[in-house]
Structure 1
Amino acid sequence: MIIDSHQHFWKYEPVKHAWIDGNMAVIRKDFMPSDLQSVYQDNGVEGCVAVQADQTLEETDFLLQLAQDNNFIKGVVGWVDLRANNLESTLSEYSEADKLKGFRHVVQGEPDHNFLLRPNFLRGIEVLEKNNYTYDVLIFPHQLGAALEFVKRFPNMNFVIDHIAKPYVKDGFYEGWAVLMKEIAKYDNVYCKLSGMITEADYNTWTPEQIHPYMELVLEAFGSNRVMFGSDWPVCLVAGNYAKVKELTTNFISTLSTIEQQQIMGANAMKFYKL
């Protein structure tokens, strides 16, 4: 079974989705389950995890409603204010939402390099752990040092690094990213998504060969049992299409054993998110 561990839905609003800049004009529109379902049929994908793109509780509710109405959405990674004093009571309101598997904060957008290590945020992660939720780590490479300290503090919490921590492929930035990714991978409660890679390269001229060294490092460091395929649809459309994104991973892992390929293309996501 192929499970896409990372995609988004939205009803496009210019202010709310201000991060979709002029270079990404192709995704300045609505993207809903009906759009994705046909894409999945064409690409043999059976299910997905829908991930928040907006930092509001309304976003979490929106995704949960879509998951309720569309069986192929197997899980939701929502948003909640992890720094809030009423976090426990907010989570209790979601206790019946079986498809709510975890949460994410757009840490890459925080100006504070050590945002992940602030006491109120760490308290929030403690609460998530107590309630058996996962946490998706969305960061840029300059935040990897903080991320390393962060995951060290929670050896029993399930973390996944989104988009291989967004290395600056376009600029050829590799070594500093690689050193810290290897260190983070030493913690076996941390997984990594092979997702969001083509949008870190040049949108128009990227090649699989440019991205392979990054994928090789991730596979070597995390192993086939802690890496998962994700499309980052519809964001991926600014630099390609779904088939190209999927092929980037399937071609890369084609020399692995059948079991390893199955792990990366679905089984690991099912295990991590308890789908």
Structure 2
Amino acid sequence: MNIIDPHLHFFDLIKGDYTWLKDNPPNWPNIEKIRQDHLPEALLSNTQVNLRGCVHVEAGFDNNNPQRELDWLQDILPNLPYKAVAYAPIDADKSEFRHQLNALSHTHLVALRDITEGADAARLLSPNVADNIALLHQQNYHFEAQFEFANHPVAQRLYEIYSAIPDATLVLNHAGFMERSGAWQSAIDTLSKLNNCTIKFSGHEMLDSPLCPTEQLAILLDAFGEDRVMLASNHPVCLIQRNFDQQWQHYFNVVSQIAPTAWHKLSYENAKHLYQFAL
């Protein structure tokens, strides 16, 4: 099983801050399996899943100096092709955002993420966001948005921003947290109209009542098409339900039920193309 994982995290609890995990951990099942070091060797020694490349998404290593995480990744990932998604507050004042972006320097850096779940999603409505996304695009980076699709005003605002800069790339993390009873259809209808928008099928383990995975994937494929959906493990948070191997086997089973010919695109080719892996 050759895959590129476009959304995972490595942890070193001694070298990094991870205050969200150390000091005030989420009320997740199996939290003690997650609240420990997670380094690449455990995944590279795998015999069932061949990790050909990965996208490391910031995990609170040091939000005051996110460059530290990029430097650390360089040390722990010398033999695995990877890309990095760093942290910066997307609603920061334009000059401050430019300063923070200029302070980030790494050959593997491709994007920024700023978690805006729940009430924090209101920050995506800040007038600064459009300018900051435009600056990211100018510097050949993209933004990875993480919010609930039930938040219709935010989905509409992102649609307006990216409609105005159609060459910019928008990546939606964790499929917008689609709960069974959630009002997510409007956001999917809106955001899927953006040809520059790609969505990750991941993060289901963090939800209380996620939509059935086969139903959810069918909805995403119907809306975004096979070329704009990526499977992602969310390791090690996936340990809430499954280990890394089990997560990818689960995805294989889901895809086999509804779109077996799309497996290579969803597990490898789409991530390779979007994140520009030279494999």
Question: TM-score higher than 0.5 here?
Answer: yes
Report if the CA contact (8 A) 2:7-2:233 is conserved: yes
1:7 aligns with 2:16: no
* Inter-partner Cα distance in structure 2 for 1:149 and 1:14: 31
Unaligned runs of 5+ in 2: none
Residue 166 of structure 1 contacts residue 197 of structure 1 at CA under 8 Å; is this kept in 2?
yes
Aligned Cα root-mean-square deviation (Å): 2.5
Q: Residues 20 and 198 from structure 1, CA distance in 2 versus in 1: closer, same or farther, beyond 3 angstroms?
A: closer
Distance 1:68 1:151 in 2: 38
- Quote the Cα distance in structure 1 between the aligned partners of 2:123 and 2:263: 35
Equivalent in the alignment of 2:116: 107
In the alignment, structure 1 residue 195 sits paired with structure 2 residue 206: no
Q: Which runs of 4+ in 1 moved over 4 A?
A: none
* Identical residues among aligned pairs (%): 24
**Separation in 2 of the partners of 1:14 and 1:135?**
22
2:67, 2:224 → 1: CA distance?
Answer: 29
Structure-2 residue corresponding to 1:61: 68
Q: Cα–Cα, structure 1 residues 107 and 217, in superposed 2: closer, same or farther, change >3 Å?
A: same
Which one of 161, 176, 190 corresponds to residue 165 of structure 1?
176
> How many residues are matched?
262
Task: Report the CA distance between 1:183 and its aligned residue.
Answer: 2.0
Contact 1:228 1:265 in 2 (8 A): yes
Q: 2:155 matched to which residue of 1? A: 147
In the alignment, what sits opposite 1:241?
Answer: 243
Distance, in Å, in 2 between the alignment partners of 1:160 and 1:215 is: 16
What's 1:270 paired with? 272
Tell me the CA shift for residue 222 of structure 1: 0.7
Tell me the CA shift for residue 242 of structure 1.
Answer: 1.7
Give the drift of 1:78: 0.6
Native 8 Å contact 1:137 1:159 kept in 2: yes
1:20·1:27 contact (CA, 8 Å) conserved in 2?
Answer: no
Shift of 1:98: 1.5
> Separation in 1 of the partners of 2:236 and 2:67?
18
Cα distance in structure 1, aligned partners of 2:73 and 2:18? 22
Contact 2:87 2:114 in 1 (8 A): yes
Aligned residue in 2 for 1:130? 138
Q: Is the 8 A contact 1:151 1:190 kept in 2?
A: no
The separation in 2 between residues aligned to 1:180 and 1:93, in whole angstroms, is: 34
2:54 corresponding residue in structure 1: 48
State the SS of the aligned residue for 1:188: coil
CA distance in 2, matches of 1:233, 1:191: 20
Matches of 1:69 and 1:26 in 2, distance apart?
21
User: Would the alpha carbon gap of residues 79 and 15 (structure 1) be closer, same or farther in structure 2, given more than 3 Å must change?
Assistant: closer
Partner of 2:26: 20
CA contact (8 A) 1:199 1:239 kept: no
| 1:88 equivalent in alignment to 2:89 | no
In 2: Cα distance, 1:11 partner to 1:210 partner: 33
- Aligned partner letter, 2:44: Q
The one-letter code sitting in structure 2 at the alignment partner of 1:44 is: N
Q: Deviations over 1:177-214 (max 9, x none)?
A: 12321221111111000111233256xxx9xx932111
2:102 & 2:108 partners in 1: Cα distance?
14
Indicate the SS of the match to 2:54. Answer: strand
Judge conservation of contact 1:114–1:143 (CA < 8 Å) in 2.
no
Q: CA deviation at 1:113?
A: 4.2
Q: Give the TM-score, by structure 1 length.
A: 0.85
Q: Counterpart in 1 of 2:186?
A: 179
Aligned residues of 2:152 and 2:186 also touching (Cα < 8 A): no
Deviation per CA, 1:110-154: give whole Å up to 9, x if none. Answer: x25432120123222121111110111111233343123213312
**C-alpha separation in 2, matches of 1:132 and 1:215:** 29
